[in-house]
Structures are given as structure tokens and as C-alpha cells.
Amino acid sequence: MSWRSKQGTDLLKSHDWLVQRSQTVLLHGARLIDPSTGLDKTADVLIDRGKITKIGKINRDELKGYVELDLRDKILTPGFQDMHAHFGQPGHEDRETLTTGICAAAAGGYTGVSITPDTDPYIDNAGIVKWIQDQTSGSPVNVVPVASVARDDEGRRLTEVDDIFHMGVRVFSDTGRPAATPEIMRRALEYMKLHNLTISSRAQETSLAAGGVVREGPVSTRLGQKPWPSIAESMAVAKSLLLALHTGSKLHLEAVSSVESLDLIRWARERGVKVTCDTTPHHIALTDEATETFDGNFKTSPPLGSKRDKDALIAAIMDGTIDAVAADHVPLTDEECLVEYSLVPDGVVGLETAVGVLAKVLGKGKPDWNKLITLLAIRPREILELPPATIATGSTADLTIIDPEAVWTVDPARFFTKGHNTAFGGWQLPVKSLGIINRGWTLIAPDARMLVK
């Protein structure tokens, strides 16, 4: 079923969200922050048929048939865009469907999500790309399929890039299907360069990482769990960077988690390599010590690092080495999580908590908003080569509403996502998304309905 079946709106309304498709929307008194244009001021915003038509003081007497939102003391930002989320469907609907994933994204303030190719069947042909595009057409969240680099599980045959490229796909990923050899990865990079495309890589040397459960170090030794050495990531990063240097192709590195990887990225950039990277909220908020509880909610890919790694990631965010933060949303079924720690699949959900976790970790509840919005909204679109979301007269209304003073407790039972496997259950977070405006939709959370006049 497509979003137009009302399945999604019914799910939102069942959680008491306000769902409207009004022609004219007046946003009153918000603090507007858009790092891409240097905008930071308090003003009204008028939206008519999905476009921002005026910014400034707006006379209500001139308006007819409009919906007003009182956003005084709230922040209005360009809509968030996630870099890589696992939505499951097709093939893994027990973990997540396109509908539940879209609703989870909207609840977290995301107006756009790039979904990973590890579905069943894989996103490795134009047909499956079109099916996803059709299923999500008209939804309040732009769903962007990322295609697989390889078309077989052995990673020895490249995807039909031309056909998929003509469906609008601009990023190809090795998630779940890494290239079998450096030679195949080299050919993939060279082929992507012909179309100026990007390979997004979850760098991992499988021979070193195979069977690893906890990041190698004192914690893995104490727990007696098979270690996952950080060199499993940094060696694969080095190999990919050298290939990108040789080919001149664009490379994006996902979920970077170690000091050594960051050093290699800096080295490569000094030599002109076209490399970007992201990390995740859980890697900057937690360390491998969290795994000492043997709670599967802390089993991630790559595994949580040391305090040294965590501190280095935060520093790399602040100095610009890390371009974006991705929720790295991986929902699992309850049954998959009810096994011993070493058997729990890797991954945690993150779309509904990302902005709150980042605000807590990066600014102790008072973040640098330009930095945070750049990480969540501006740089992801630039890397993914998507149209920018800007707060400007004449631009499409693609917006996220933030309460910078909200204090709320993470309760996975209230998530839209099917997955309850959060690393932040019970955490008190200082910032919350109150809703999104995108594609003519206005979605407002239950605790913000009083803002609607």
C-alpha cells in the first residue's frame, strides 16, 4: 500500500498526532535558524500551497482560511535528513515497514530519510527502486533509496549502475554486500566517477571483525566476549581512502567510530581525497562500558568504542572532520533481542531520539544550534546531492519544529518504529522535535497541539 492509502495518517492519528494538509499555514514568532544562509532571527513565516511566501511581520487580516501555529520560544529549522536508515520493507516487514519508518522519522524531526539497500530483495535494480518510490509517493517524509554497489552476496558483480542512476539514485552503498576484493571496489569507484556518484561505505575488514562482539580492550577481556578490534574499521578505511585517492572518486564513510579512522580521514583530505563521513548518536554518547550489562540494546555495528574514541568523535564533530550525524536506525523484533548477548543482531533504533541525544551530548542541553542543524539537515543533503532545504521566501516549505526547552524521558513503548531496541531507554533528553512541515503536510506532536490556533 502507498502512503496515499491513509495507512500512515491513521497511524499518526492513533498516537494523537495532528495531521493536516492546509493550503495556508502561518507560523508565528519562531526563532528561524538556517546555517546555510546565516539566518538567525525571530519572525513569522507564511506558507501557501507548500511554499514559503513571506518571512517577517504578517498581517492576519489579509489571510483567509489559514492554520496558525504559535511558535514563540520554539525553533524552526530546515528539515532534518538522515543518511542511512534500515526500514526493512520489502522482505523484513516484521522489523519495520515503510509506513512505520516514515512515522518514526517524522516524530524525530526528519523530513527526509535515505534507506539502506539491505532489504529482501536488495535494492540492486531499477524495479525495486521504482517500487519504493511509488510506495512512498506523497508521504510527508522524502524517502530516498540508496542502491547496493554489488548485485550478488559474494560482492563480485557490480550493480547495473546506469539503470538505477536514471531512476534518480545518486548514492550506492556496500551495506551487507561489501566488494569482494580491492580490485572490485576500485572498479566500482571508477564506474561511479563516470556519473559523479558517491559510494557510501560501512568500512569493515571482515576477516578481522568476524564474530566480534565487543570492542577489543579491557572491557572485552573482562566480559570474556570475542573482541572486535578497532583496526577492523581503520584498515578498511585506509584501503577505501587509498582507492578513492587513486581513482579520484567520491567516498562517504558511515558510522566512523575510532581515533585511527579519524586520523586517516584527515590525512586523506590533506591529499585532496573527496571523502566525507558521519558518526552516530550512540557512538558519541556511549562507550564500550555500557556493554558490561550484557544488554542487547548496546550491541551496535561497529561496536561502541572506548572513552578515547568517544572524546575524539566529539572533537571531530566540533572541528568539522565529521560532516554529519546519522541516526543509523536499525529496528529489530523483540524475539531477536531475547537471546544471549553474542547472538543479538547488531543495531539500535535512533530516528526518534537523535536530536535530543545530540543536544544532550554536544551542548549539555544548550547546543550550538548552527552546528547541530548543519549535522542533521545541511551537510546530509549536500553529501547525498539532494535539493537543499532552506528557510527563504520562495523556497519549498521543508521544516522541522524544535522545542529547545523540552525535557522528556525516552519510552520505547511510545515509539512509532516497530523496534524497541534503543540504547537510550529511560534517558531524560533536553530537546525535542514537535513536528514537521513538508510536501504540504503539517504534522504536530500531541504535546504541541496547544500551539495550533
Active-site positions read 328
- Can you give the three-state secondary structure of 89-123, one letter per residue? CCCCCCCCCHHHHHHHHHHCCEEEEEECCCCCCCC
What is the distance between the alpha carbons of residues 242 and 238, in angstroms, rounded to a whole number? 6
Cis check: omega of the bond before 182, within 30 degrees of 0: no
Cβ contact 27:453 at 8 Å: no
Cβ contact 46:30 at 8 Å: no
Cβ contact 68:452 at 8 Å: yes
102, amino acid identity = I
Q: Where are the beta strands (DSSP E) in 124-273?
A: 142-145, 147-148, 171-173, 198-201, 214-215, 227-228, 250-253
Q: Which of 351, 388, 380, 439 is nearest to 136 (CA)?
A: 439
Q: Which of 197, 374, 195, 379 is nearest to 276 (CA)?
A: 379
Per-residue cell: 130: 521504482
Kindly list the distances between the CA atom of residue 445 and the CA atoms of 13, 75, 233, 437, 450, in Å, as whole numbers in the listed order.
10, 15, 39, 12, 10
What is the distance between the alpha carbons of residues 147 and 160, in angstroms, rounded to a whole number? 10
Cβ contact 240:251 at 8 Å: yes
How many Å separate Cα 451 from the centre of its chain?
27
Q: Which of 349, 294, 284, 365 is nearest to 321 (CA)?
A: 284
Kindly list the distances between the CA atom of residue 232 and the CA atoms of 209, 238, 303, in Å, as whole numbers in the listed order.
6, 10, 11
Instruction: Classify residue 198 as left (phi > 0), alpha (psi -120 to 50) or beta.
Output: beta
What is the distance between the alpha carbons of residues 342 and 359, in angstroms, rounded to a whole number? 31
Provide the b/e sequence for 90-114 (b: ≥16 CB within 10 Å): bebbebbbbbbbbbbbbbbbbbbbb
Per-residue cell: 91: 522482505
